[in-house]
Amino acid sequence: MSYLLEPLDKGKLTLKNRLVMPPMATSKSEKDGRIGKDILDYYDEKSQGGYISLVIIEHSFITQQGKASEGQLSVADDSIVEDLKKLSNIIHKNGSKTVMQINHAGSAASLAVTGHEPVGPCAIANPRIGNVPKELTKKEIKDIIGEFKDAALRVKKAGFDGVEIHSAHGYLLNQFFSPLTNKRTDEYGGDVLGRIKIHLEVIKAVRDAVGDDFPILLRLGASDYMEGGSTIEDSKIAALEFEKAGVTILDISGGFCGFIVAGLTDQGYFSSLTESIKKVVSIPVILTGGITDVNAAEKLLSEGKADLIGVGRAIYKDSKWAENAIKSLN
């Protein structure tokens, strides 16, 4: 049997194979981030046939202040739950499981989009965008933790199979994790354990809201690939703490470098990160990064680089990619 076709049956989230569609922003939402026909049609098309075991819905803002861009999906208020049910129902009908990614953009947000001043761990320019945010107070941090909690509960009420907390690609939680943007001198800064204090509090709040059996994924920007930025050594420490805190699956990507790294073009170019993290945790790890060939996916799994393979752009460009890949292995 192929590695990609092998079921994942340990932990809270059981999957029929190892193929994941990772979160990719589509900017297809309606006004105010609501679900409309365009979003429903898109995910219906991508999940046809149930060849993808897990579809992770694109990052969705937990509060207006944390909205990253126009056309981004919302999970910011209770009125959206009924619409979100339509989305989870379509994917389930097609035979796949689905998780929703929730996010706060922090200093990657803009006044023009949100109507609010951007915020971050410190008043330090965002390395990707240049925005200088307002430094969050401890009370404001607690408020954001509460917004993650409320958003996660909405995801559960909408019938999804789990929720993914976004701490990659230079968004708010990643800004706390990275030494480039977190120079705080209180308990939310300093060493790695200080910089992930907000993550651990978000995980606990989410777990309290959704209960013990609901899967919680966390997408970690495991290296900034920038001088003075986060490193894989930081991420190994963080990953172990996230597992202890109750994270079900770790989804590994880049930090302030985003989802691509200059000079890295191999299929599965984040595999050095996932391989290192797999050595310190026992929970499943998702690898994404330029994987377009099913044989490359097989090889990465066979070499123990990851437990699950995320294929993003190839599926974005070709809705039949998953069907053709799975059938080629049968």
Q: CB neighbours of 229 closer than 8 A, spacing ≥ 6?
A: 178, 179, 180, 223, 255, 256
List the one residue out of 117, 94, 190, 101 whose CA is nearest residue 154: 101
β-strand 162-167 against 308-310: which pairing, if any? unpaired
Q: What is the C-alpha to C-alpha distance for residues 244 and 13, in angstroms, rounded to an integer?
A: 17
171 a catalytic residue: yes
Q: CB neighbours of 324 closer than 8 A, spacing ≥ 6?
A: none
**Which position has the token pair 């796949």?**
96
β-strand 73-74 against 97-103: which pairing, if any? unpaired
For the chain, the helix, strand and coil percentages under 3-state DSSP, each to the nearest 5: 40, 15, 45
Q: What is the C-alpha to C-alpha distance for residues 267 and 290, in angstroms, rounded to an integer?
A: 5
Q: What is the C-alpha to C-alpha distance for residues 63 and 104, in angstroms, rounded to an integer?
A: 7
Q: CB neighbours of 293 closer than 8 A, spacing ≥ 6?
A: 267
The neighbour count for residue 94, using CB atoms within 10 Å, is: 19
β-strand 216-221 against 285-287: which pairing, if any? unpaired
Annotated active-site residue in 3, 171, 188, 269: 171
Q: Residue 277: what residue type?
A: I
Q: What is the C-alpha to C-alpha distance for residues 108 and 111, in angstroms, rounded to an integer?
A: 10
DSSP 136: P
Enzyme catalytic residues: 171
